[in-house]
């Protein structure tokens, strides 16, 4: 299996404790470095650099004013912050707005929906290249590769058409999906196994009949992102019936997780997609530090079963890295998943 990765992620130079951020920023460069090291040691596939496909494929998914904001947010925010302190919103828009602010500090709260996404000097470049990694992986699959792993950082599944949050700035999975379609109406399935619901991905495709979203995640009544992810959210308009959520109780066992996965995989098979995009967040594993209430109880056997069951779909697959924050174990999780997916 080929692996697409880049050192550009280091430009989003977050640390665990960021000034102005009310909670620890678990999305740190060490995550990607741990994965990269583990893949190299285990010799899992050939690691290649991403191609630069430009901003065009990103514009297909995200609003231009949103992209303009992300590119200019750091320099525009400097009069409001000391030194190199990152820009973090403290006022957030409930989208029943009557006025759209034209500058800082209001502008940041218009596009952000939480305080987990600091804007640093290199944030845009890191997010841009994370998207290019996903596009490159999708392009390889489109050319005939059975599966390609995209080591994306920052992750993407919480980013919507013109919103960022949950450590995510650009929606890598959505951008990859549109690249696979290339203006056609080929069916794409997105399976999201991250512990947290991929609200951004859901909303981007909520009224789309060609891209179906399938998500296993913590019940939003009790964990992030709280306002999306209910089982009753099934799509709208042409997309009605193509959005599928499996909200699972906190503390769900491996058996409960795998039972939901089986339902999701069967639903994907019934959808008959041309391609599969897997939003692979490994925070569904036991002992991840981010989930509230202790997370799920999935162990190594469950991880292996998950990889093999998804692979049995036999679909050309882009595996996009999302969450997973136990840095000491994350690399091993990814290696085990990819090795078993590729068997």
Task: Please check whether residue 244 is in contact with residue 211, taking contact to mean a CB–CB distance below 8 angstroms.
Answer: no
In the structure, what pLDDT confidence band is assigned to residue 97 with cuts at 50, 70 and 90? low
Going by CATH, does the domain composed of 2-74+117-341 fall within 3.30.565.10? no
Tell me the percentage of the chain whose pLDDT exceeds 70.
Answer: 97
9 is annotated as an active-site residue: no
Over the stretch 206-244, which tens digit does the pLDDT of each residue have?
A: 999 999 999 999 999 999 999 999 999 999 999 999 999
Over the stretch 129-180, which tens digit does the pLDDT of each residue have?
A: 999 999 999 999 999 999 999 999 999 999 999 999 999 999 999 999 999 9
Q: Model's pTM, two decimal places?
A: 0.96
- The least confident of 93-102, 261-270, 319-328, 333-342 is 93-102
Task: Output the CA–CA distances (angstroms, integers) from residue 59 to 62, 103, 113, 178, in the order listed.
Answer: 5, 22, 20, 10
Over the stretch 188-207, which tens digit does the pLDDT of each residue have?
A: 999 999 999 999 999 999 99
Residue 31 has pLDDT above 90, yes or no: yes
Crossing angle of helices 123-142 and 172-181, rounded to 10°: 40
Residue 190: name the closest of 170, 220, 163, 210 by CA. 210
Place of tokens 């058409």: 161
User: So what's the pLDDT on residue 23?
Assistant: 85
Collapse the DSSP code of 33 into the 3-class scheme (helix H, G, I; strand E, B; otherwise coil) and give the result.
helix
Helix spans in 60-185 (H): 64-77, 106-111, 123-142, 172-181
Strands 317-321 and 2-4: unpaired
C-alpha count within 13 angstroms, C-beta hemisphere, residue 256:
16
User: So what's the pLDDT on residue 105?
Assistant: 67
Distance CA(181)–CA(30), nearest Å, equals 33
Catalytic residue among 158, 196, 197, 217: 158
The first and second tokens of residue 56, run together, are 């065009």
Helix (H) / strand (E) element for 320: namely strand 317-321
Q: Name residues whose C-beta falls within 8 Å of residue 28's C-beta, 6 or more positions apart in sequence.
A: 14, 15, 16, 327
């Amino acid at each position: 299996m080929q692996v697409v990765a880049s050192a550009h992620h280091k430009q989003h130079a977050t640390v665990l404790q960021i000034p102005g951020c009310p909670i620890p920023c678990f999305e740190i460069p060490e995550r990607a470095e741990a994965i990269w090291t583990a893949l190299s040691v285990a010799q899992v596939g050939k690691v290649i650099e991403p191609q630069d496909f430009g901003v065009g494929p990103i514009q297909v998914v995200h609003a231009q004013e949103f992209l303009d904001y992300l590119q200019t947010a750091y320099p525009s925010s400097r009069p409001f912050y000391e030194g190199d302190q990152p820009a973090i919103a403290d006022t957030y828009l409930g989208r029943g707005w009557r006025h759209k602010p034209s500058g800082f500090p209001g502008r940041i709260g218009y596009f952000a929906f939480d305080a987990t996404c600091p804007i640093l000097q290199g944030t845009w470049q890191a997010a841009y290249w994370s998207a290019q990694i996903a596009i490159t992986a999708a392009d390889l699959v489109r050319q005939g590769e059975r599966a390609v792993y995209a080591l994306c950082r920052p992750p993407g599944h919480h980013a919507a058409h013109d919103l960022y949050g949950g450590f995510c700035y650009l929606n890598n999975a959505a951008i990859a999906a549109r690249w696979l379609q290339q203006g056609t109406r080929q069916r794409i399935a997105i399976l999201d196994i991250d512990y947290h619901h991929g609200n951004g991905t859901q909303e981007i495709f909520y009224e789309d009949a060609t891209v179906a979203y399938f998500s296993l995640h913590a019940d939003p009544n009790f964990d992030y992102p709280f306002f999306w992810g209910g089982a009753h959210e099934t799509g709208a308009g042409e997309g009605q019936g193509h959005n599928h959520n499996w909200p699972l109780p906190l503390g769900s066992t491996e058996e409960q997780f795998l039972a939901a996965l089986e339902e999701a995989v069967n639903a994907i098979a019934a959808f008959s997609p041309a391609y599969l995009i897997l939003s692979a967040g490994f925070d569904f594993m036991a002992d991840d530090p981010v989930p509230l209430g202790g997370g799920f109880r999935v162990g190594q056997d469950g991880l292996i079963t998950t990889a093999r069951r998804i692979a049995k779909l036999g679909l050309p697959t882009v595996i996009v890295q999302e969450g997973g924050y136990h840095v000491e174990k994350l690399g091993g999780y990814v290696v085990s998943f990819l090795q078993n997916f590729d068997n």
